[in-house]
Structure 1
Amino acid sequence: MKKILISAQELANQMAMGKKIKILDASLGSTVSNTTNEMASGIIPRALKFDLDDGFSDSLSVFPHTLPSSDVIAESCRKLGIDIEDSIVVYDNKGIYSSPRAYWMLTESGFKDVLILDGGLKSWVESGHRVDNAFSVPNALKSCPNVNSISNVKNTQEVRDNLSSKHFKLIDARSSGRFLGNDPEPRKGLKSGSIPKSLNIPFANVLNEAFYLDEKQIYDVFAKKGIVKSDSLVFSCGSGITACIVLVAAKIAGFENTSLYDGSWSEWAADEKNEIVI
């Protein structure tokens, strides 16, 4: 299985040995999901800012964190100075939160060597490694990297069609309270509840605080929902960020057929034509 995670100590060792690594901080300016992890302060030395709120989201979409076009991704990567063949490590300041979204976006775009810092900045700091107070200045590429168009994405119509076709299992990464409609949605005016026939695996269920569970533990989480390796899995959440936590967990556990419902609950619940289960 392809390596997905790297520990803080392993990253520190590679940096000390002079390995050329592009380190990307994919922390969000603000989050709406309730988590028990506190944000760590500082920036890993040499890190560049991977901006999921701006350069790596569709600025014209009415929904948050919408996947941008491949041209926008390519231009944002060019400005950051990251190319397809670079060794890349992504992290965030909550441990495991928004970094899986960056990992998913880059790997689906064709980047060859991308890892997630397991435990994120929190693990880096608690391991005794130093931090900086400013991002590195990017060394922009002369031309855009040749990125792939991301195809492993489902739209709302495909999710609607799946209610009858049952081609895939839809997994919702929001908390059980939001999924069941017992807790209000953090985004003002958005209805509570869930998409019919979806399964709930809250993203916290595949984590041990700031770290991913191991392969077997993650597999057990999926198995308890009746999910098997041959299933086609599509992941959803509020806006497509925490869905990637569970999508990456599925990859760690050996599930191969994974996709993302990028519009997620923000798009589904905003359309009056869509059925909602409470």
Structure 2
Amino acid sequence: MCRWAAYIGERIFLEDIVSRPGHSLIHQSHCATQCHTATNADGFGIAWYDERPEPGQYRDIMPAWSDPNLRSLTAQVKSGLFLAHVRASTGTATSRNNCHPFTHGIWSFMHNGQVGGYDAFRRDADMMIPDALYANRRGATDSEALFLVALAEGLDDDPRGALERAAARFIRLARAKGAAPHLRMTAALSDGKMLYAVRYATDDLAPSLYYRWSDSRQGMAVVSEPLESDEAGWTEIPTASFCSFDDRGAVLVEEFHPCRLGLAAA
């Protein structure tokens, strides 16, 4: 399982989330505590927003703790909205194109989890991506395919509904040709204005997800694991939830039920 962290609020240095806290994302890359694998060494990435509507993006295949370029970048770059990810592969190759976050236009997206038995229906998943978006299929992961299908399902106008419909399509494929668990996921996505996050699983083992508003930073962190082991104020996001966060600290939690759509179409 991967680990990730996202932030929205006043502009801060990326290192304030990625490397500086006691249980920062870099610390989680080799000492995760709330997932099956403590080590997440199959690459990393950051997508951040600043002066332009499209996000900047930096990804590499090195373990996050061993790349001095990452530490230098996070110590110098400020942003009021960014997504960061350390990867533990569930089967696809360790390559830059398979590292999260993925981007398209103004959108950025990252995912932790798995689509059960994905290797058995990779071709079917690719066929769900329309021709207009398929040129953006750079890697081979289920996560990137899910992102592109969500874009096709109307992510620009309806982020929750688009991701719900895309997830339902993958669940149907996993039921028909894959294996259980049909879907486990936490994901973060952004259009440069809002930060969205989802927690869901078709079984009882949804990956962990938390959020916390910081008065000192004047921003919201959304994370796989709390950034400090002894820090109060972290709220665990319930499973089957889709959350919307703005830069003023407002949080909207809605239900997320792709299985209902999957059953209706069966």
Q: TM-score over 0.5 for the alignment?
A: no
TM-score between both structures, scaled by the size of structure 2? 0.29
Q: Which has the larger radius of gyration?
A: 1
Q: Which structure has the highest strand share of the two?
A: 2
